[in-house]
Amino acid sequence: MTKFGATKVAKTGKTGKSGDKKPSNFAKYRERNRASDGYLLRTDIRRVLGNFLMVVLLFGLCFLILQPLFHQFSNAIMSRDDLFDPTVITIPRQPSWANFRQAAELMNYWSSLFSTIVITFSVAVLQIAACTLVAYGFSRFNFPLKRFWFACVIVTIIVPPHTIMASMFLNFRFFDLFGFVSLINGEPINLLQTVQGYLILSAGAMGLRNGLYIFMLRQYFRNMPKELEESAWVDGCGKLRTFAQIMLPDAVPMLVSCFLFAFVWQWTDGFYTGMFLQGQGVMAHQMSSLGEAFRVAYANMNDAVPPSIAQIEAMISTGVLMGITPIIAIYLVAQRFFVESIGQSGIKM
């Protein structure tokens, strides 16, 4: 090859005619689509439209979930002038954090937060411990009237607790465990408006939504292979040790999910809080009474002039945001356990 020919090859990057060009990706796509009789283009169009509709659907769902939070936050940071300005709808002209400071004072926020965490954590631990034992018994052991008792568990899921409110009130107002309390104390004791009453209810797997936790954990244990337990029994483990050392470690994702459900629902519950925890200064009670507390405080500071409805709504929005912020933080930290537990469990009746 001559020197001129070598220089030409180095410039063009290939031997052959200098005018030859590689076909573009679009030209290749057209050739492939023509060879498939238009099937490739139709498939790609359906895929793009499907992805677009999925994005629109997800955006709409996210907006429906997050829009109330945005609305609450917008009300919370509005100053008094913005609240009475009809031209201000969503974004305040003069953002203010005064509502947060006042709400924290009216709610006794930090003390209530600490009390709520301690009580809610204790209740959730007792509920999950009791529900786990019950669920494992339903999933692995046969005993008389097993189907009947599990049907009773399902009934506790379906029937709201308000249905049994009267009987529950009487039982805890005159609490007498098989007559032993009257035998020792001389009369029944009153466990209403006490933490002890709700702890007893939770330890008996009859607390807030405990039927649902039993159902979820039962399904999880039923899907675990029985060979794990049989191997432990062959090695000399008893049933309780097998449950504690073999089954529980594998059920951690579902246990954490049920614990978080119990913690979150108890945090914002109003029924059991009103019956057992009203005098404990928990967050649910503080949020429900914030509007009335603000009305009284405002009237005392302004010569018995009541606040406007907009001011009360802004204060309630502030209290709600302050109350649910710890729950949102917990979910962001523990969200992977939700996904893992759902992926590893199934509905198998």
pLDDT at position 15: 45
pLDDT at position 289: 87
Q: Tell me how far apart the alpha carbons of residues 171 and 193 are, in angstroms, rounded to a whole number.
A: 13
Q: Tell me how far apart the alpha carbons of residues 155 and 32 are, in angstroms, rounded to a whole number.
A: 60
Which of these, 79, 69, 68, 104, lies nearest to 290 by C-alpha position?
Answer: 104
pLDDT at position 344: 55
C-alpha triplet 251, 256, 257: angle, nearest 5°? 100
Indicate if the pLDDT at residue 161 is higher than 70. yes
Which of these, 318, 338, 323, 298, lies nearest to 120 by C-alpha position?
Answer: 323
Which positions ≥6 away from 251 have C-beta within 8 Å? 132, 217, 220, 221, 224
The token pair at 29 is 């796509």
Which of these, 284, 288, 277, 262, lies nearest to 172 by C-alpha position?
Answer: 277
Indicate if the pLDDT at residue 255 is higher than 50. yes
Domains, the chain, in order of start with CATH, read 2-59 (no CATH), 104-345 (1.10.3720.10)
Indicate if the pLDDT at residue 73 is higher than 70. yes
Q: How confident is the model at residue 273 (pLDDT cuts 50, 70, 90)?
A: confident
Which of these, 158, 128, 92, 165, lies nearest to 257 by C-alpha position?
Answer: 128
Q: Tell me how far apart the alpha carbons of residues 182 and 176 are, in angstroms, rounded to a whole number.
A: 6
Average pLDDT in the 37-54 region?
89
The percentage of the chain sitting over the pLDDT mark of 90, rounded to a whole number, equals 21
Indicate if the pLDDT at residue 134 is higher than 90. yes
Burial grade of 170 (CB within 10 A; 0-12, 13-18, 19 or more): exposed
- pLDDT digits over 168-220, tens only? 888 888 888 888 888 888 888 888 888 888 899 999 888 888 999 999 999 88
**Are 268 and 284 a contacting pair, CB within 8 Å?**
yes
Q: How many residues belong to the chain?
A: 349
The token pair at 78 is 């509005």
pLDDT at position 125: 93
Which of these, 103, 148, 145, lies nearest to 287 by C-alpha position?
Answer: 103
Q: How confident is the model at residue 132 (pLDDT cuts 50, 70, 90)?
A: very high
Which of these, 139, 138, 258, 136, lies nearest to 209 by C-alpha position?
Answer: 258
Give this prediction's pTM.
0.77
What is the per-residue DSSP string for 256-308?
HHHHHHHHHHHHT-SHHHHHHSGGGT-HHHHHHTHHHHHHHHHHHHTTTPPPP
The token pair at 73 is 């936050």
C-alpha triplet 325, 195, 182: angle, nearest 5°? 165
Lowest mean pLDDT segment, chosen from 68-77, 103-112, 276-285: 276-285
Burial grade of 268 (CB within 10 A; 0-12, 13-18, 19 or more): middle
